[in-house]
Amino acid sequence: MKISIQTNLTQKHLPFDDISADYCDGSLPSPSKVLFTCDFESSCSENFVSLPTYPYIWLISNATDACGIELFAPSTDYTFGNKSGHYAFVPVFKIVDIGKVGYLHLQKQLQVTSQESYCLNFQYCAYPSKGGSYLKIYSWASDESKVIQMLWPGERSSYYILGGRW
């Protein structure tokens, strides 16, 4: 299975930090086996690529540099809570094509069978605090089926987006 993160940019932007996929059995478990984890602070960032055939390109940057590109970008990351921490984001100071998307693709393949359950955990920050946007996370089966499945968002009642903070 591979994971891709999509943003459909309108008026709100969605930086992304601290992603992990763990084996689990229910909500908020203590993972028995970590399949993948990345806080965008180490070489794990090299496992992510922005798919080049889409108009919006994801960048991985520290908060200081991101704020130099995007006026309203978060001034701190989630991991360390400071300006030297890194996160992934899509610079949209110049709208390329309204309603189009950008994909951040995890190149590492995760081995999950139908008998196992797993949890996908991540942090994101919607900015500025007003407006709308979409963040979607998909899995792509690497077996012969090549099934693409949306992992997130689930039912609207299962999450809440609070703009302007992680």
pLDDT attached to residue 166: 55
| Per-residue confidence (pLDDT) for residue 141, from 0 to 100 | 78
pTM of the model: 0.75
The alpha carbon of residue 132 and the mean position of all alpha carbons in its chain are separated, in whole angstroms, by: 17
pLDDT at res. 123 = 82
> Taking every pair of C-alpha atoms in the chain, what is the biggest distance, in angstroms?
46
CA torsion through residues 124, 103, 30, 80, sign? negative
29-57 in b/e form (b: 16+ CB < 10 A) is eeeeeebbebbbbeeeeeebebeeebebe
Tens digit of pLDDT for each residue in 132-166? 556 778 888 777 788 888 877 766 545 555 555 55
pLDDT digits (tens, 9 = 90+) for 1-57: 445 555 544 444 555 566 766 656 555 545 567 788 899 998 999 999 998 888 888
The predicted model gives 110-126 an average pLDDT of: 76
> How far does Cα 62 stand from its chain's mean position?
15
Average pLDDT, the chain: 74
pLDDT of 65 over the 90 cut: yes
Residues 136, 154: Cα–Cα separation, whole Å:
10
